[in-house]
Structure 1
C-alpha cells in the first residue's frame, strides 16, 4: 500500500469513527429531548386533569408536614413561572396550595370569599386566620398562583416568619401575552362539557373584584362562547383578557401589586424571582444549602406546546362525547350479556349434572 492509500484509508476510518460518535451523541440528545417532551406533556395532562378531577396531585411524603406551618407565600400571578416554581418547591419538600387545592377543598371557596370581604372592608383577619390554620393542618407549607396570590400580604401579616415569593417574567408585556394564551387554552374548562364536571369556576374573578376592585367580567354564550354542538362549546373570546382595556388593567394591577409588596415587606422577606435565574437565588432566599441542586437545571413545566396538545385532545373527547357514551354503553351491555350467558350456562350444566 503506497503512502497516499495509507493516508486515505486512515482518514476514511477516522471520518467513519467520528461520524458514528456524532450520530451516537445526536441520538442520545434526541432521546433526552423526547423524554423531556414526554415528561412535559405528561405534566401538562396532569395539570389540566387536576381541574377536571377537582384534585391537586401535589403532595409530599412527610409525616411532619402538618407541623411546619406556612413557610412560603406566592405573590406572583399565573404564567409568571408559578408552575415551574411549584415543582421546585416540591423538590424542596413543600406542599403547595393553589387554585386546584381550592377546587379539591371546595368548602374553602366560600371561606376565601368571606375572608376577602372581611379583610377589604374591615381589615379583619379572623376568617382568614381560621382558614389558614385549617390549610396548615392539611400539611400545606406554601401558596402559589392566582387567585391565592392576592392574599399574599394579609397572609404575610398572619405568618411573620413566612417568606414571600413574587415570580415575574422578563417584562409585563410578555407576562400578559402568556396570561392571555393560557386563558385561551384553558378556557375550555368553563365550557361544555367540562363545566358540567367542574361546576362554577368564577370564584377567582370574584376574589379579584373584592380585593383589587377589578372590573368584573364573565365569559358568556353567545358573546364569548361558540357552541357548534349542544354538548360542546369553544371559548373564542375570553372576557377577562380580550375585552377592551383589559391588557392595560392587568399590567397596571401587576405593577401596583408588586409595588405594594416591595413597600410593605422588608428585603429579607421578599424575593422578586424570574425562573430563568435558576436555583441559586431561590435557595439563598429560603436558606437552603444544597450545592448539587444549585447546579441543576430549574424545572420547566407547562410550556405552551404541551398545553396546546392537551387542549386538542380534550376538544376531540368533548366533541365526540355521544360516541364515547354510546361505546361505553355498548361495551357495558356486552359485558353484562356475557356475564348473564356464563351464569345461565353454569346453571344449565349444574342442572344437567343433577339429572345425571
Structure 2
C-alpha cells in the first residue's frame, strides 16, 4: 500500500498509539512499534540497518501501511518527509514534563519480566527498540534537562522543516475534530481512541504476547 500518506514526527509516548488506532479507523492502515510486534511481515532488523545507513527500501518496509507514527518510523521522519512529498505530517505533542515521566515508567526500560518466556518476535523488536530508542534518541535519558531539550528541539525542527499547509500539530486530547479537518475526513461515529496509558504498559505487553502466541495477525487492530 505504500507510499505513505501520513507521517508522524512526534516522539513515542505522545499519544502515538491512540493516533495510530484513529488513523486505522479513518482508513489509513498505520505503522507503529506495536505493529512491528504484531505483524509477522515486519523485520525489526530493517530499522536497525536503516539507523546505521540512514537509507532503506521504505516502500518495502511500509508496504502494508499508508501511515506511520511512533518509533521506529519517527526516527526517520526527515527522510520519510522527503521520500513522500505528498504525505501529510502529524506532530503529536505533550507537556514535556509529563512526557519524560511517562517514558521513565515505560519504554525507557521495556519492563519484560525475565522469568517469563517471551516470543522471539518480541525479543527481536525489543532489541531494535533498544538500538534505536534507548541507545539512540533516549541515550541521555538520565539527564532530564538535556532529554526534555531534545524533545522540544524535535518539535521545533519539525515546525521549521515542514510547510505549515502540510503539518498538523496535534494533541490527542483534541479528538477527531482537528485530525479529520486536516485529512479532509468525515468524523466517525465512535469515540476517539484512548489507549496505552503508562499504567497499562506492562498489561499491554502481556496482551501482545498472548496475541502472538495465538498465531493471529492482529496488526490491523
TM-score by length of 2: 0.78
Aligned partners of 2:88 and 2:49: how far apart in 1?
25
Aligned partners of 1:114 and 1:304: how far apart in 2?
29
1:15 is matched with: none
Larger Rg: 1
CA contact (8 A) 1:279 1:296 kept: no
Q: Which has the higher contact order (CA 8 A, sep 6+)?
A: 2
Kindly tell me: are residues 275 and 209 of structure 1, through their superposed partners in 2, closer, same or farther at Cα, counting changes over 3 Å?
Answer: closer
Structure 1 residue 193 displacement after superposition:
2.3
Q: Deviation per CA, 1:110-133: give whole Å up to 9, x if none.
A: 3322222222xxxxx4xx2x2x11
Kindly tell me: are residues 168 and 107 of structure 1, through their superposed partners in 2, closer, same or farther at Cα, counting changes over 3 Å?
Answer: closer
Aligned partners of 2:205 and 2:80: how far apart in 1?
38
Aligned match for 2:59, one of 133, 145, 152: 133
1:162 aligned onto 2:87 = yes
CA contact (8 A) 2:71 2:133 kept: no
Aligned partners of 1:312 and 1:74: how far apart in 2?
22
Which SS does the other structure have where 1:73 is aligned?
strand
Which structure 1 segments of 5+ residues have no match? 1-65, 120-124, 217-240, 315-356
Which SS does the other structure have where 1:202 is aligned?
helix
1:298 is matched with: 192
Aligned partners of 2:170 and 2:59: how far apart in 1?
27
Aligned partners of 1:147 and 1:284: how far apart in 2?
27
Aligned match for 2:97, one of 151, 173, 177: 173
2:158 is matched with: 261
Aligned match for 1:89, one of 23, 36, 44: 23
Kindly tell me: are residues 194 and 163 of structure 1, through their superposed partners in 2, closer, same or farther at Cα, counting changes over 3 Å?
Answer: farther
CA contact (8 A) 1:76 1:144 kept: yes
CA contact (8 A) 1:186 1:311 kept: no
What count of residue pairs does the alignment treat as equivalent? 205
1:287 is matched with: 184
1:109 aligned onto 2:34 = no
1:79 aligned onto 2:28 = no
TM-score by length of 1: 0.50
CA contact (8 A) 1:116 1:210 kept: no
What is the root-mean-square deviation of aligned Cα atoms in Å? Answer: 3.1
Structure 1 residue 296 displacement after superposition:
5.4
Kindly tell me: are residues 178 and 91 of structure 1, through their superposed partners in 2, closer, same or farther at Cα, counting changes over 3 Å?
Answer: same
Give the structure with the larger helix fraction.
1
Which structure 2 segments of 5+ residues have no match? 208-221
Structure 1 residue 135 displacement after superposition:
3.1
Kindly tell me: are residues 155 and 184 of structure 1, through their superposed partners in 2, closer, same or farther at Cα, counting changes over 3 Å?
Answer: closer
- How does 1:304-323 map onto structure 2 within 5 Å? 304-307=198-201, 310=203
2:210 is matched with: none
Aligned partners of 2:181 and 2:15: how far apart in 1?
18
